[in-house]
Amino acid sequence: MHQFMSIGFDNMVSVDKVVAIVSPESAPVKRLVQEAKEAGTVIDVTHGRKTRAVVFTDSQYILLSAIQPETLTGRLDTE
């Protein structure tokens, strides 16, 4: 049975698929997000809010969340 973690606004991701949860502020992360946008592998679930966390998955998709990485990590540990 799959466990899911809320990444905001009633959006969920399978805990088994999460590789990393990082802040979007560094240049390498910004570059990876831009490249993924060009490739069509970004899923933006911020609902127009500021991106506060970038979630990398094992299927090469990148999820943009408006929730802080620390909060998401806490949810990952408890769910």
Q: What angle do CA 42, 14, 75 make, to 5 degrees?
A: 100
Q: Which two tokens stand for residue 40?
A: 């069509």
Residue 17 domain boundaries: 4-78
Average pLDDT over residues 26-50: 98
According to the model, what pLDDT value does residue 63 have?
A: 98
User: What total of structural domains would you count in the chain?
Assistant: 1
Beta strands in 1-79 (DSSP E): 4-8, 11-14, 18-22, 42-44, 53-57, 62-65
Please check the confidence at residue 6 and state whether its pLDDT lies above 70. Answer: yes
Q: Strand pairing partners for 20?
A: 56
| Cβ neighbours of residue 47 closer than 8 Å, sequence gap 6 or more | 8, 9, 66
Please check the confidence at residue 78 and state whether its pLDDT lies above 90. Answer: no
pLDDT category, 1, cuts 50, 70, 90?
confident
Query: What's the pTM value of the predicted model, to 2 decimals?
Result: 0.94
> For a pLDDT cut of 90, what percent of the chain falls above it?
91
- What's the chain's Rg over C-alpha atoms? 12
Please check the confidence at residue 31 and state whether its pLDDT lies above 80. Answer: yes
